Amino acid sequence: MFDEIKETSQKQPSEAYVRMRMLKIDYLVIRDFLGDGLVYYSENQNKDFQATLHCVKDNPKIASKIEEFNKKWDALVYHAQLSHTEMGDLWSLFYVSAHEEEWDSDKNDLEDGVPMIYCYNETEELFSEFGRIGIESHSGGVLRTA
């Protein structure tokens, strides 16, 4: 069993690469992820800056939450999206699960613009949950549409 988990964890970065390409994530962001393990997030600041890219290492709180999520769920977060809403600051975490049998379905959901994510509510952590969101690629990042 441990060997299966280890084998899957070695495949997750390659799967993340495929998904990042599908999302049309900026090449430099992909390079940093594959080379140094750096995760970036797209921030919807306003109608003029809808997918501004930032590195999570500059935000220790979310970097810690991503690390915690990866360990708890044997997942690999490869991108995040931050939206400022009436319900709080919502972090949509895009991840590759440890369940390879789900990967084809996950990619189909990405193609359809409705991926399964983990939504971390920074303002009210109790309201954090797994779910589907609407997205579109935008300016090398991701824009949450629903």
| pLDDT tens track for 89-129 | 999 999 999 999 999 999 999 999 999 999 999 999 999 99
pLDDT at position 144, please?
Answer: 95
Look at strands 135-138 and 141-144 and give their pairing: antiparallel
Q: Could you give the CA distance from residue 79 to residue 85 in angstroms, rounded to a whole number?
A: 19
Q: How many structural domains comprise the chain? A: 1
What whole-number distance in Å separates Cα of residue 132 and Cα of residue 146? Answer: 9
Residues 75 and 132: their CA atoms lie apart, in Å, by: 17
pLDDT digits (tens, 9 = 90+) for 60-95: 999 999 999 999 999 999 999 999 999 899 999 999
pTM of this structure: 0.92
- The Cα–Cα gap between 1 and 63 comes to 29
Compute the mean pLDDT over every residue in the chain, rounded to the nearest whole number.
93
Q: Is 1 helix (H, G, I), strand (E, B) or coil?
A: coil
Distance (Å, whole) CA 61 – CA 67: 10
Quickly state the pLDDT bin for 47 (edges 50, 70, 90): confident
Domain encompassing residue 19: 2-144
Question: Poorest-confidence range of 6-10, 30-34, 43-47, 122-126?
Answer: 6-10
